[in-house]
Each structure stands twice: as structure tokens, then as C-alpha cells.
Copies of this chain bind each other. A is one copy, B any other.
Amino acid sequence: MKTKRPLILVTNDDGITAPGIAALIDVVKTLGDVVIVAPDKPQSGMGHAITINSTLRIEKVNFYGVLAEYSCSGTPVDCVKIAINKILKRKPDLVVSGINHGSNMSINVIYSGTMSAAVEGAIESVPSIGFSLLNESIDADFSAAKKMVKTIASQVLKNGLPLGVCLNVNIPKAKTDEIKGIKVCRQAKANWVEELDERKDPSGKPYFWLTGKFENYDKGKKDTDVWALENYYVSIVPTQFDMTAHDSIKVINKWKF
């Protein structure tokens, strides 16, 4: 009989003091023993960056009263690496990342520090989930999201995940009773059409803020995460780190080199 409580690693990209990670910890500490290794500052948009040209620091903290908690000077992926290879005595049973303040649907998965931490969990062969709420406000209401974390994390602890696959879970900005259900989806084809917001510094030299407009090329496609979220479903996209375009191998093989 398996009586050992699951060991759950928690991280995020908004930093260890963000309300989203507090909401996530609140739920997963009811499911197992929790260790937190999370960035000491916001790391949004860090994608799968790792720290190789400078050094890393970790600090023991005690914000949440769980088994162990550390803030880390690195990226979300660094947090997962340092947790699994240095801090934890055994591989965790689950890695959860988030709850992100803002969407990681569609192409955002590739820029997202939250999701890259989950992907790194999968690279380490640990069942992993990234959670994001479509609400960027510091005062966001996480109650519906917390219910979904409980449901989905429980299922992953029970069923495991296919090897090499993690889950990208996005939760619409809605009250619990407005959410219609959960849809397993594919990532919608989309892109950010950048607008570089040009400004002048006090000495008159230009600088830029990266901003842009989200452009969905899969409008109306019901099997996509964007459609699900627009229609008040929670979206789950199974996400892999094998980036090989397998179908294109035969195409390129026809070339005369």
C-alpha cells in the first residue's frame, strides 16, 4: 500500500511573493508535501532561458510554512534544475508552475517562464503542469483557478502523464459557476504583431518597449485553446519538448545537397 504523501515542487515566473503562487500553494499543500523554489523577482517572458554566463544564488525563506521554500536568483527553468539536482533528495512526483497572472494560451507557451518551468519538469521526466489565469491584475480572483488546480493536479497525480509531455492549463477570467467545463485542446496558430513603442530618454536618445497585438490565425476553430477560453472553458494543451517537425523530414530529404 502506497502511503507516502506525494512530493510536489512549486515554482512560477511572477516571483515567490506573487498572489498566484500563493493560491497554487494553498491548493497543492492539501495534496502532498510541498517544496517551493521560485524566482526572487518577476521573470515573465523568460521562456526557456537558463543562467550559464553568471552565477546563481538561493535563499531559504519562510513565507508559506511548507516543507521547504527557497527564493532563487535565476529563471523559472533554473529553479526547476536547482530544485531537482540540488535541493530535493528525491525526484518530485509533480511539478506545478504558476498560477500565472495572465494568459499562456497559444504561441505564448514558447515565451512563458511559467510554462518553460513545466516543460523543464517534463524534460526531467516528472509529471508537470503550468497554470495560468487570464487576469493580469494583482487583485485577481483566483477562486475558480484554485478549484481547477485541485481537479487537474489530482488527476495528474492519479494518472501520471505520457513521457515527454506536460500540461498547459489556462483558466478564463470568470466566476466558478460561469466556467462551462474543461477542454483538451491544441495550441492555436497565432502570433504577436509587435509594435515597438519608441520613446526618448532625457538625453534625446531613443529606446523601445516591446508591445504588440495578439493575432489568432485559427479563429473559430473549436479544437484550439483560444476558442475554449473565449467560450468560458478551461483549456488543457498537452505540451511536448520534442521540437522535431517529424513530417518535414521527408520533405527536406528530397533536396539535392
Residues of chain A touching chain B, judged by Cβ–Cβ distance below 8 Å, are 42, 44-53, 55-58, 74-75, 77-78, 81-82, 84-86, 107, 109-111, 116, 119, 123-124, 151-152, 155, 159, 161-162, 164-165, 167, 181-182, 184-187, 189, 191, 193-196, 199, 205-210, 212, 236-249, 251-253, 255-257
- A186 and B244 contact, Cβ closer than 8 Å, known pairs A47-B47, A49-B46: yes
- Min C-beta distance of A202 to chain B, whole Å: 13
**In the bound complex, how far is the Cα of B138 from the Cα of A161, in angstroms?**
43
Q: List residues of chain B with CB within 8 A of the CB of A241.
A: 107, 110, 243
Contact assessment for B249 and A240 in the assembled complex, using a CB-CB cutoff below 8 Å: no
Contact of A85 among B56, B58, B189, B195 (CB under 8 A): B195
**In the bound complex, how far is the Cα of B124 from the Cα of A46, in angstroms?**
19
Contact of A187 among B77, B191, B210, B242 (CB under 8 A): B242
Contact assessment for A238 and B255 in the assembled complex, using a CB-CB cutoff below 8 Å: no
Number of copies: 2
**In the bound complex, how far is the Cα of B155 from the Cα of A193, in angstroms?**
28
Contact of A196 among B82, B119, B165, B207 (CB under 8 A): B82
- Min C-beta distance of A11 to chain B, whole Å: 15
Contact of A45 among B51, B111, B119, B251 (CB under 8 A): B51
Contact assessment for B155 and A255 in the assembled complex, using a CB-CB cutoff below 8 Å: yes
The 3 closest A-B pairs by CB, nearest first: A47-B48, A238-B248, A85-B194
Contact of A239 among B56, B123, B243 (CB under 8 A): B243
Q: List residues of chain B with CB within 8 A of the CB of A237.
A: 243-244
Contact assessment for B208 and A56 in the assembled complex, using a CB-CB cutoff below 8 Å: yes
